[in-house]
Amino acid sequence: MKTRKLEYFEDQLKASALGQEVLQVLRTHANEAMYLVNKNRPTMVCWQRHYGPHFIKSVVDSGFEEEVNFIKEVKGISMETLILNMAEVMTDNGTPELKRAIGNFAPQVLYMARNTHNLREIMALIKNGKPTQQHG
Amino acid sequence: MAEKKDTYIPRDECVDLNAELGKSLKEVEDAILAHPNVLSVGLGMKKSKGTLQRELCFKITVDRKKEAGELKKNELIPPVINGIKTDVEEVLQTIPGAADSKKYRPLIGGSQMEGSSGPGSGTLGCFGKRNSDDKIVILSNWHVLMSNENTIDGARAGQPSHNGCCSCCACNEIGEVVAGEFMANDMDAAIALLDGQEADTIPEVRYINEILDLGFVTGATAPLAGETVYKRGRTTGLTKGQVQNSRIISNTPYVFYNGVAVLRNNQCAIDPVAPHVDYFLKGDSGSVSLNEKNQVVALNYGFDPVSHVTVATDITDVMTQLQFTILDSTFHSGATSSQGNPAEGIPFGGMAAGTMAGNPTFLEAFEQLEAELNQYEQGKRMMNLFAQHRTEMFRLVNENREMKAAWNRYQGPSFLAHIARSIRKKGQQVPAYIKGISMQNLILKMTAVLQRNGSENLAKDVTENYLDILNVIGKGKTPDEWKAALMDQHKNTNR
């Protein structure tokens, strides 16, 4: 079993150009995103009503544990719905820079939520620098 | 009412089908009109056991349907002519159409109107230009504006109503009736000249060449059998229908004109499309039917309360007879004129025409883009989905508060205007950001809002397709680049 530290993912991301770009976006906007989730009422409500804590735990677990996939749905709410609604509420309430980042990256995150099964797959895609949204 | 089947036929298909069947129409007409009972022959949708079928056929109107035994062998209508089915129907008995009574300024099509001495409230159809002097006129029905069936007795028009007083003290008066046809020429139509055009062609009363809930009007064309149409009337609001017969005969008794019944040839019969039970009711008289390209195709004037069929006159006949031309809206930013609001007023953007020198009109460019998109499976699917859900989306953008706010705050009208311009002018890019919002932001927002507010079907289709739309949008900044992305997608799928 791997040591459950987030640095594990950070190291993986640093290994590729695309990963470094993703890391940079996360670092730039993490504080604002955390602030919105914890302090901004519409964002808080959206995060809780769409079972954000359940999904995030499941995603992290799927990165550490072999043969563990993240859950795609909780009580009728899909992970894609959570991400779409969080993108919406954070665009409504975030800074212009966050709005811009959401417009640039949310489509790819949504695509991955629909088409991958665990964080390991996502990390592999990023490492290989493959476009996350493909034709066909 | 019999259970409704899905009879939707895309307009392009209607054009092809009408052209194909139209080739032999004259020949069939000559042969069938010789039968003593037959009154007219046209093209329309096949009806089987009271239910419309997704199939065009020759529609034959007869005075009264008879059992085969009552007819001689040579009087029987063959079920198939030249490989095309026939359908026999009786003359449609209809009654003229009598609840949005709001005042609209600028004036707008689809709102309530009344004549100074007319029999009741009807609907303001749309706006046109008088051929002789380019002055602006309003189109509605004769029976909405006139108190008698024979003469234009100095009748004036009001929106939403007219108190009947003389022009100097009348409230809400907007114009004077200048031409019309009722007893002759197979139409119930009248036009009123908008007030304040004595010196020039800019009327005193401001108006917008738009129809409530439907958007900008983009000119006029003849109706096609089988095509989907929309109307907005004072009583039933926005409804959707399908032209089931483009050349029917209708007999309409007018109770307020002492029950005078008028038989009219070459009328267009429109069936309501689910969920609408009625396409048209009393008070919707004077409304116009628009096709999927927002072109006016017919002037509605009556309905049959039993079969729920609406009867309307081909708009090209009305324009020829009354000597006016329906306006064709321009679509470029800041398009303010006597015609009313700038482009920001466009809800979803009617498919209006542009008149910039050297460039195709928007409508021409849009048609070309549509034809090109239809070559790819993905493009065709997107165009069909848009056609299928456009009424609901128009309604939501116009009536649903959350949807309206989202569309406007996320720069929907501005992006749409840029796309329209880019379609018209090759190579012109759609800006990546407008006021800090990207098109991806707009699509994500509209997806979330539509999932919450749309019908089950709309929400499902939006959920299934928004990622594909985002994918295509992300591949470029012009419609040509999006088209190329669709082409790649098409190639990859077929590889």
Give the start-to-end residue ranges of the domains of chain A: 8-127
Residue B403 CA: distances (Å) to CA of A45, B144, B230, B484:
20, 35, 21, 31
CB contact under 8 A, A100 and B489: no
Mind telling me how many Å the CA of B436 is from chain A's nearest CA? 6
Name the least confident of B9-18, B318-327, B360-369, B375-384. B360-369
Phi-psi region of B425 (alpha: psi -120 to 50; beta: other; left: phi over 0): beta
pLDDT given for residue B345 in this prediction: 32
Identify the architecture of domain B11-90 in CATH: 2-Layer Sandwich (3.30)
List the single residue in A81, A96, A107 with the smallest CB-CB distance to B440.
Answer: A107
Interface test with B, best of A88, A114, A134 (most B CBs within 10 A): A88
Task: Read off the pLDDT of each residue in B86-94 and give the average, rounded to a whole number.
Answer: 81
Of residues B334 and A109, more confidence is placed in A109
CB contact under 8 A, B433 and A91: no
> Nearest Cα to B123, choosing from B135, B114, B136, B134?
B114
Percentage of residues in chain B having pLDDT higher than 90: 31
> Is residue B85 scored above 60 in pLDDT?
yes
CB contact under 8 A, A84 and B447: yes
| Alpha carbons within 13 A on the beta-carbon side of B18 | 21
Interface of A with B (CB under 8 A): 81, 84-85, 87-88, 91, 96, 99-100, 102-104, 106-107, 110-111, 114, 133, 135-136
Phi-psi region of A47 (alpha: psi -120 to 50; beta: other; left: phi over 0): alpha
ipTM field = 0.90
pLDDT band at B144; cut points 50, 70, 90: very high
Mind telling me how many Å the CA of A82 is from chain B's nearest CA? 10
Interface test with A, best of B453, B467, B493 (most A CBs within 10 A): B467
> Is residue B173 scored above 80 in pLDDT?
yes
Mind telling me how many Å the CA of A41 is from chain B's nearest CA? 18
pLDDT band at B331; cut points 50, 70, 90: very low
Of residues B288 and A127, more confidence is placed in B288
> Is residue B353 scored above 50 in pLDDT?
no
List the single residue in A99, A100, A110 with the smallest CB-CB distance to B467.
Answer: A110
CATH of B91-328, picked from 2.40.10.10, 1.10.3720.10, 3.40.30.10, 3.40.50.150, is: 2.40.10.10
> Is residue B422 scored above 70 in pLDDT?
yes
CB contact under 8 A, A136 and B493: yes
Mind telling me how many Å the CA of B293 is from chain A's nearest CA? 30
pLDDT given for residue B98 in this prediction: 47
Of residues B221 and B344, more confidence is placed in B221
Helices B401-409 and B412-424, interaxial angle, to 10°?
60
pLDDT band at B286; cut points 50, 70, 90: very high
Of residues B489 and B270, more confidence is placed in B270
Q: Chain-wide mean pLDDT for chain B?
A: 82
What are the tokens at A16? 């590729």
> Is residue A102 scored above 90 in pLDDT?
yes
Ranges for all domains in chain B classified under CATH 2.40.10.10: 91-328
How does pLDDT run across B200-226, given as a tens digit for each residue? 666 767 788 888 888 888 889 999 999
Residue A134 CA: distances (Å) to CA of A112, B471, B475:
11, 8, 11
